[in-house]
């Protein structure tokens, strides 16, 4: 269960309550003190007290790079269709998961994700790194 109020986010998914805030506040719910944290991971989405999404995008890029490394190793054994299936199952699904929440992150963080996206398009299509990404994304549609 979530409750959002101003710059605060409460979570009761785990056995303990957590409270995201940059301000020092004492909060109790049903006479239980709520732990105040600067960062919390809920349903594999990392929230911080500024909602900057830096930590979330960093962990997402790490996860995607790991999956791209596997795609690079197995791409010689897959057809283009097989590579697309792998992409949709293991990469694209991660990119769109809860993107309505973290999709408002800074341009710098979105560019980090775009680089990963360009990399996977080049691997799937067997394109050189000098190939413009617009052409690659058009082919993948």
| Predicted confidence (pLDDT) per residue in 49-68, tens digit | 677 888 888 888 899 999 99
Q: Which has more confidence, 39 or 76?
A: 76
Share of the chain above pLDDT 90, in %: 10
Could you read off the pLDDT of 94-108 as tens digits, one per residue? 888 888 778 788 888
Each residue of 24-51: pLDDT tens digit? 666 666 677 666 666 777 787 777 767 7
* CA 76/CA 123 separation, integer angstroms: 10
User: Percentage of residues in the chain with pLDDT exceeding 70?
Assistant: 72
Considering only CA atoms, which of 62, 63, 73 is closest in space to residue 123? 73
- Let me know whether 58 and 96 are in one domain: yes
**Residue ranges making up the domain that contains 10:** 2-48
Mean pLDDT of 128-141: 83
Tell me, yes or no, whether 82 and 23 share the same domain.
no
Q: Within this chain, do residues 58 and 41 fall inside the same structural domain, yes or no?
A: no
Same domain, 88 and 107: yes
Region of residue 71 (left: phi > 0; alpha: psi -120 to 50; beta: else): alpha
Looking at the fold, whether 18 and 70 belong to one and the same domain comes out as no
Q: How many domains does the chain have?
A: 2
What pTM, to 2 d.p., does this model score?
0.69
CB atoms within 10 A of CB 47: 22
Read off the DSSP letter of residue 88: I
Say how far apart CA 86 and CA 94 lie, in whole Å: 12
């Amino acid at each position: 269960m979530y409750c959002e109020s101003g710059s605060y986010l409460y979570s009761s998914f785990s056995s303990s309550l957590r409270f995201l805030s940059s301000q020092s506040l004492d909060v109790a719910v049903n006479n239980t003190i709520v732990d105040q944290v600067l960062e919390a991971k809920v349903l594999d989405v990392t929230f911080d007290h500024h909602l900057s999404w830096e930590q979330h995008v960093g962990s997402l890029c790490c996860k995607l790079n790991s999956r791209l490394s596997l795609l690079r190793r197995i791409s010689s054994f897959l057809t283009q269709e097989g590579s697309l299936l792998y992409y949709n199952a293991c990469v694209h699904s991660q990119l769109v998961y809860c993107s309505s929440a973290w999709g408002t992150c800074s341009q710098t963080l979105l560019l980090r994700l775009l680089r990963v996206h360009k990399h996977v398009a080049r691997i799937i299509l067997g394109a050189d790194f000098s190939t413009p990404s617009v052409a690659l994304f058009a082919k993948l549609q």
